[in-house]
Chains A and B, each alone.
Chain A
Amino acid sequence: MEFTLKIWRQQNAGAKGGFKTYPLKDVSPEMSFLEMLDYLNKQLIEGGDEPVTFEHDCREGICGTCGLYINGRPHGPMRDTTTCELHMREFADGDTIFIEPWRASAFPVIKDLAVDRSSFERIMHAGGFISTNTGCAPESNSNPIGKHVADLAFDAAACIGCGACVAACKNSSAMLFASAKIAQYAMTPQGKVERKERVDQMVRQMDAEGFGACSNTYSCEFDCPKGISVDFIATMNKEFLYSKLFGQKG
């Protein structure tokens, strides 16, 4: 297969970036998208150029490191698929493919296609945990949790923290990301104790990082590689209201 790649190149956060065009020949349909970029980089390096910087690690769709904006969509054209799971057989021979980093002011570009997602970390520091010390846990089965609740909690917890929801959103909102954690904890007995403080603090941090609000286009759910549901945003809003109405303590 042959492709024309238009890739965003930017030397660092302060530099001005732009698209550069790279024709690429002899691409196998069996290659993953990132293997295709490896293949490009090998040619760039051997030709004396600097390779394209992009981030990745597990290459099996679970670590959340990779995240490219491909032809105007986070993680490319396939639903429920991370960039590393995307394969070139999904493209047509001769296609032009635009590759950009996540676009959001809360995710500043580091270099080329790599962005800084530490804002997500700070949202988690604000309340993404259950305050229990090592050694004080009761016997696991002393707190039964119905299968449907446990399964729903799992669905929320499946978030990989890649940032596709933010990149997909016209407001660069991080609500899907934050709500998945808030909802996961709010629905289980272990997490309920701190639910009011948690939602308040995580939402506050989300705003402080410069993420936008939700305007219900559902693009986040549509482009989430793990299919996290926007229902959790509704849960978060409910939790937030509950926290405001009934106070954070008690």
Chain B
Amino acid sequence: MIKLDSKIPDGPLAEKWTRYKAGLRLVNAANRKKIEIIVVGSGLAGSSAASALGELGYKVKVFCFQDSPRRAHSVAAQGGINAAKNYKNDNDSIHRLFHDMIKGGDYRAREANVYRAAEVSNDVIDHFTALGVPFARDYGGSLDTRSFGGVQVSRTFYAKGQTGQQCLLGTYSSMNRQIAKGTVEMFPRRDMLDLVVVDGKARGIITRNLLTGGIERHSAHAVVLATGGYGTVFYLSTLGLGSNASAAWSAYKKGAAFANPSFIQIHPTSIPVLNDYQCKLTLMSESLRNDGRVWVPKEKGDKRQATEIPEEERDYYLERRYPAFGNLVPRDVASRAAKERCDAGYGVGDTGLSVYLDFKDAIKAQGEQAIRDKYGNLFEMYEKITGINPYKQPMRIYPAGHYTMGGLWVDYDLMTTIPGLFAIGESNFSDHGANRLGASSLMQCCGDGYFILPNTISDYLADEIRTGKIPVEGKAFDEAAEAAAEKVRRIMAVKGKQTASAFHKRLGKIMWDHCGMRRDAEGLEKGLGLLDELEKEFWNDICVPGSENDYNQELEKALRIADFFEIGRLMCEDALQREESCGAHFREEHQTETGEAKRNDAEYAYVGAWEYQGAENKPKLHKEALKFEFVEVKERSYK
């Protein structure tokens, strides 16, 4: 039975981290090289953590499923990375960034964690600059910023629409330096299939070598998961096709609590579905809402070309409903508003499932070149996919599954409920509450990896200096390796008729329809039933051709989807128990008269952390009460 102890330090908010850090134990430099740390995932969180730990002199082993760590899906983040530098003199501060995140998350995140993320944000920008990350600059040579949703300051640093790529290449370069020095060893093309827990502590992982199919054992004194989110549960999402949740899920099944699984962000500005064979939705960065205006025709079912619809017949519904923030309302609000218009029959395009994002006025005011400088690559990307030139015609956009605020429960040390198992970046639940603000994910990933984890993990490792090398033999390793091999054999043995992708598509539809942007008890119950049926069908009819001892992409997919059925179920259970609307979690039964999310702070101001109880039993819900000492909890309004 797990116990949730968040370890939030006492004291004034702005001093918590400094005071806490001062009390953390260290590992002496000579001992660090005897201590091994496994990092799973090589995105911003994983590679920044691996770099920082390598620089300290630990022996680090990094695993990723891609052929190169540079391909982790952080690479696709577009718009920017937040920091409280106040370079625009618009009265920004660490406290304001903290406050925006707490409010943006609809008061469902921990104050202390969020404040710390804001506190280290400036260090992240400085470090990236030192690593040569080519952020956009002004003519005088200083760094430029832009605005993002849910805030009224300009604090988002960017590199065109490729900020994630440039930041990832920064963390990748710092990790490459450690690889060259021998402190970091890279294991690409590996899927983590299981976590190994020895005497209650995380001591290693079981991986499958994706080229040979070999089941491998790796041991360490601590394991760090930086494995991203589980948004591909929707099949159609903005994520990379290989993104998966199996590593985090195996940790959950070994006793790590999984927090707020139903908090999943639907991004408002994705290119809509264009055909039935599509398996991926491409995001158009939130930064576009700096200059783009969102609208639908005032007339239902208006089939005219966008450019033929005169100004007075357009409904700029975000500006109408939310005058204070206009087109820059947070993502959950913008997504629901788009769905509301489309469901009411005002949507555009053949399917009626899209709205316009129009740059006409910005191009008129600033000139085409200015818009090209800011968003050139995004406009090109849009044209390549749709064949439509967005300088001439408005873009069409629709919401798509994007980011998971939920994830493995961690304490203030970023440690899960399994001692020695840490979770950083998107794979944990800690900083974004029920809705994440744009450009704060890159910030959190790098803050966790470069500046927080290296401090907190040393306190844990201080007890490990006498442990010696962890053997990969013994009961726990044997059992985990056998269980992983058995799972592979079981899937191979089905020899059914349907492909993994076909199942994934159907799974995604169930999740989108029943546990997507709007949820209700009846739909969630129905979704649970459908998931059970589909999972049963999967285990009777999945077809995986080829051999398990080979490069077998179908087997990889099938193994990941098998876990997604279980995650989908936990998402529905979590959405069902939370009888309120907050952030991205919108329950039809709980809304205000104007259709906004209606929170229930008296009963639901908690983190819902689920504990696995075996395959046959329902998971157990634990509640970590959220205390707000430094902000006033109010109705979240962007009007």
Identify the A interface with B (CB < 8 A). Answer: 12, 28, 30-32, 35, 38-39, 41-42, 45-46, 48-51, 53, 55-65, 78, 80-81, 85, 87, 89, 110-111, 114, 116-118, 120-121, 124-126, 128-141, 143-147, 150-151, 153-154, 157-158, 160-161, 184-185, 188, 190-191
Contact = CB atoms under 8 A, between A and B. Distances in A.
Contact of B68 (A31, A53, A161): A161
A185 to B, nearest CB: 6
Contact of A157 (B75, B169, B211, B275): B169
Nearest to B243: A57
11 contacts: A38-B279, A53-B551, A63-B75, A64-B71, A118-B188, A124-B176, A130-B130, A133-B55, A134-B52, A137-B123, A144-B137
B323 interface: no
Contact of B73 (A58, A64, A143): A58
Interface string B113-147: 00000000001011101111111111111110000
A117 B67 contact: yes
B404 interface: no
A147 B180 contact: no
Contact of B131 (A62, A63, A130): A130
Contact of A129 (B174, B211, B550): B174
Given A50-B545, A124-B173, A134-B174, 4 more contacts: A146-B137, A147-B139, A151-B134, A160-B165
**Chain A, interface SS category:** loop
Contacts of A125: 176, 179-180
B634 interface: no
B450 interface: yes
Contacts of B554: 45, 51
Residue of A42, A65, A134, A185 with most partner-chain B CB within 10 A: A134
B138 A147 contact: yes
A48 B545 contact: yes
Given A116-B67, A124-B176, A87 B123 contact: no
B282 A59 contact: yes
B383 to A, nearest CB: 10
Given A45-B499, A157-B169, A60 B387 contact: no
Contacts of A53: 551, 553
Contacts of B137: 144-147, 150
B499 A184 contact: no
Interface of B: 51-52, 55, 66-68, 70-71, 73, 75-76, 85, 87, 123, 125-127, 129-143, 159-160, 162, 165-166, 169, 172-174, 176-177, 179-180, 186, 188, 211, 240-242, 274-275, 277-280, 282-283, 380-381, 384-385, 387, 450-451, 454, 497, 499, 501-502, 543, 545-546, 550-551, 553-554
Nearest to B180: A125
B173 A130 contact: yes
A57 B189 CA distance: 13
A12 B547 CA distance: 13
Given A38-B277, A49-B545, A114 B551 contact: yes
A153 B134 contact: yes
A243 B134 CA distance: 24
Contacts of B132: 130, 153, 184-185, 188, 190-191
A64 to B, nearest CB: 6
Contacts of B502: 42
Contacts of B140: 144
A80 B384 CA distance: 10
A60 B76 contact: yes
A64 B188 CA distance: 15
Contacts of B68: 64, 117-118, 120-121, 161
Residue of A60, A135, A139 with most partner-chain B CB within 10 A: A60
A136 B546 CA distance: 51
Contacts of B451: 134-135
A31 B131 contact: no
Contacts of A55: 67
Contacts of A130: 130-132, 173
Contacts of A191: 132
Given A46-B543, A130-B173, A137-B123, A59 B241 contact: yes
A150 B135 contact: yes
B353 to A, nearest CB: 15
Contacts of A134: 51-52, 55, 127, 174, 450-451, 454
Contacts of B280: 59-60
Residue of A28, A114, A137 with most partner-chain B CB within 10 A: A137
B87 A141 contact: yes
B166 A58 contact: no
Contacts of B159: 154, 157
A158 B133 CA distance: 11
B543 to A, nearest CB: 6
Contacts of A128: 173, 176
Contact of B176 (A50, A51, A129, A140): A129
Contact of B126 (A31, A138, A153): A138
B501 A42 contact: yes
Given A42-B502, A134-B55, A161-B70, A147 B141 contact: yes
Contacts of A138: 126, 130
A139 B75 CA distance: 25
Given A64-B70, A85-B384, A140 B76 contact: no
B52 A118 contact: no
B142 A87 contact: no
A118 B87 CA distance: 41
A116 B211 CA distance: 11
Nearest to B67: A117
A48 B159 CA distance: 47
A31 B138 contact: no
Contacts of B501: 38, 42
A250 to B, nearest CB: 21
B363 to A, nearest CB: 21
Contacts of A160: 165
B129 to A, nearest CB: 4
A126 B76 CA distance: 26
Contacts of B126: 137-140
Contact of A87 (B138, B384, B553): B384
A140 B134 contact: no
Contacts of B160: 154
Contacts of A78: 384
A111 B137 CA distance: 44
